[in-house]
Amino acid sequence: MLYDIRELQRTFLTPFTAFTDTSAQLFSSPYSPLAYTPLSRQIAASCELLHRLGKEYEKPRWGLHYTHAGDCDAVVTERTVMAKPFCNLVHFERSLPASATKDPTVLLVAPMSGHHATLLRDTVRALLPNHEVYVTDWIDARMVPQSEGQFGLNDYVRYVQDFIRHLGPDVHVMSVCQPTVPVMAAISLMASNGDPCLPRSMILMGGPIDTRQSPTDVNRLATTKPFSWFENNLIHRVPARYPGSGRKVYPGFLQYASFIAMNPDRHLKSHYDFYCDLVRGDDEDAEAHRRFYDEYNAVLDMTAEFYLDTIRIVFQEHRLPKGTWEIDGQLVNPAAIRSVALFTIEGELDDISGQGQTRAAHTMCKSIDKSLKQHYTAPKCGHYGIFSGRRWRETICPKIAEFIREHA
């Protein structure tokens, strides 16, 4: 019912957002006489702010068309190399000369936690000059027909295994936040079964491997509410106008509301600053705000099975660190991993995955030799800073590139 109410709200907001968008242009365009009237900048800024607060945000484009690899500039082509009902494996293909040195292959497993995989645009951009990059591009659950069946956390693990096998044993698997858990499970099961396609390394960044370590507000919410609360209050059916009509999901708009609720003052200040930038004519800062919120406000639905599995298995029962997680009747045993190099990365100021949660992988992967293990805590770095921004580009990404080449 809540999803239907939300759709009704969108119906009423659509003409309003169209009106405010047109008004903003009328009071700001140099070709409009209204732009030269008193208070025109204030009116245009107010209209654009209202437009952006009320509009619906579509999935952003990757927008990665060029990169500099080696000694030459290369055209980047986005190509889907493997398509599954709930995810596409996307290759950012570089137009390099035949004589170019072959770069290591990286499978970047994007989080399915409310935002689209394009949230990792800066991650991909920094990796492209020195790596062949493949990314898991998760599909909005409301766009997947019910005929495709359910998709739970165990299915996520199987998807990761399929992608690793598709890319072969020389791949390096890199996961950011939520997928650190299924990635570790996937590689653990492959190691237990003697799979010949085991990756060269796994890089785990800011993930909830063991949420008993330094619990954050996100962790506490999952443990202070009973499982039935999440099932009864956060799960809704997709309305009729979408391909996934009738599918049970955790809606993206609810996830977005929780994002905003974590730091309401910060977002309020950001929007006020945006208004002031528009009034002052500070186009550079205003455009930076648009780019960030175009990405941040674009959310996707998760299947109910996946979301509830994650709450129960990862946050409430801690099955991975406790060694009680079974998939298809087989125990997930990280101690079975021996030959895969391990690199864990955390942010000192991470308020989503606390310090020690990702590093716990070292204790669990006790059969990996110390020479194959590495950990880095990024100083003065929050959750998003470990995969996006200046610290990511200048410090963390070079460390990852060095680690990958060391274990290639």
Phi–psi pair at 324, nearest 5 degrees? -115, 10
* Res 44 pLDDT > 80: yes
Residues 45-88 pLDDT 10s: 999 999 999 998 999 999 999 998 877 889 999 999 999 999 99
* Count of other CB atoms within 10 angstroms of residue 367: 14
Residues 348-378 pLDDT 10s: 999 889 999 999 999 999 999 999 999 999 9
DSSP state of 332: -
Structure confidence at residue 113 (pLDDT)? 85
Domain boundaries, the chain: 2-56+252-296, 66-223+302-406
* Res 123 pLDDT > 90: yes
Question: Quick one: which of 368, 365, 374, 367 has its CA closest to 334?
Answer: 365
Q: Distance of alpha carbon 265 from its chain centroid, rounded?
A: 23
Q: Given CATH 2.30.30.90, say whether it is the number of domain 66-223+302-406.
A: no
Q: How far apart are CA 4 and CA 118, in angstroms?
A: 27
Are 94 and 65 within 8 A, CB to CB?
no
Mean pLDDT of the chain: 93
Residue 396 pLDDT level (bands cut at 50, 70, 90): very high
Q: Confirm whether pTM is higher than 0.95.
A: no
Task: List, in sequence order, every beta strand (DSSP E) within 161-304.
Answer: 172-176, 201-205, 236-237, 248-250, 302-303
Residues 290-333 pLDDT 10s: 998 999 899 999 999 999 999 999 999 999 999 999 999 999 99
Residue 217 pLDDT level (bands cut at 50, 70, 90): confident
* Res 196 pLDDT > 80: yes
Question: Quick one: which of 107, 253, 81, 259 has its CA closest to 179?
Answer: 107
User: Tokens at residue 72, please?
Assistant: 């030459």
* Res 260 pLDDT > 90: no
Q: What angle do CA 185, 190, 193 make, to 5 degrees?
A: 125
* Res 136 pLDDT > 80: yes
Residue 142 pLDDT level (bands cut at 50, 70, 90): very high
Structure confidence at residue 382 (pLDDT)? 92
* Res 98 pLDDT > 80: no
Are 406 and 141 within 8 A, CB to CB?
no
Are 202 and 173 within 8 A, CB to CB?
yes
Structure confidence at residue 229 (pLDDT)? 94
DSSP state of 115: B
Phi–psi pair at 170, nearest 5 degrees? -90, 5
Residue 391 pLDDT level (bands cut at 50, 70, 90): very high
Structure confidence at residue 105 (pLDDT)? 96
3-state secondary structure of 74: strand
